[in-house]
Structure 1
């Protein structure tokens, strides 16, 4: 699993955080992010950047990009934030079906979605960051077991 793609809607809140956490915890692997309806060219949301910075992550260079078929084809693993994203991607890119998975697939109480904090208060961004960190931690553990 050397090429990992994270996907959310706008590519400005959740997937950039997941990308940064995965890069930090899986050095040497190519990790990037995109959005289903990306706010193309926009930086990560300031609240996401602020919370990430408190965890030692720098999102300042991030710019949103639109998801494209080649990205799913190139990725070994595509991590989405919600079950609905997984269903949408599997319809759009059926040949990538087996590698499209939910970031929260392995939660302590079962699979979970990561709610979109866009235009929500700080608490929503903090909750999203915590959920993303939980999902990333479990995926990192599993990826390291097979690598």
Structure 2
């Protein structure tokens, strides 16, 4: 199966999923990567600390605008990567049609949540970003071999 469209999902769509979107975009040439939130802060830009962490790792979150995960958005995705088990449950309840395409970002690592760094220290953001990129690197390998 080809993965031409990947959606990264977190809660507010201002921290983890925009970072995941930018990271996967930088690693997967020719793949459309986007993001959304289960309880998005619709219209908000990326969190300031997320932007700093992204920039310090060569990623830009400039122009990001948070949006809500909807059935319409989810339908067009080949793969949906969520940050927490609670997001899996939310998708299963709210958009059950795409549950079979929805996986934890940490699926191939430890299947543990990628914790939310919102309103935490820059150091905590860096720790979460490091964990997130390790998890996403596993997906990059899977997507490239598909």
Question: Could you report, residue by residue, the CA deviation over 1:77-98 in whole angstroms, capped at 9, with x for unpaired residues?
Answer: 0000001111110111111111
In the aligned structure 2, how far is the partner of 1:87 from the partner of 1:59?
27
Aligned partner of 1:79 in structure 2 is: 81
CA contact under 8 A between 2:38 and 2:90: conserved in structure 1?
no
In the aligned structure 1, how far is the partner of 2:91 from the partner of 2:7?
12
Partner of 1:79, secondary structure, is strand
Superposition TM-score, scaled by structure 2 size: 0.95
Tell whether 2:141 aligns with 1:113: no
Partner of 2:52, secondary structure, is helix
Give the C-alpha shift of residue 68 in structure 1.
0.8
Aligned partner of 1:50 in structure 2 is: 52
Q: Which runs of 5+ in 1 are unaligned?
A: none
Aligned partner of 1:135 in structure 2 is: 135
Partner of 2:139, secondary structure, is helix
Superposition TM-score, scaled by structure 1 size: 0.95
Question: Could you report, residue by residue, the CA deviation over 1:12-34 in whole angstroms, capped at 9, with x for unpaired residues?
Answer: 00000000011000021111000
Q: Which runs of 5+ in 2 are unaligned?
A: none
1:58-97 pair list within 5 angstroms? 58-97=60-99
Partner of 1:84, secondary structure, is helix
Partner of 1:7, secondary structure, is strand
Q: CA RMSD in A?
A: 0.9
Partner of 1:31, secondary structure, is strand
Give the C-alpha shift of residue 60 in structure 1.
1.1
In the aligned structure 1, how far is the partner of 2:97 from the partner of 2:67?
22
Partner of 1:5, secondary structure, is strand
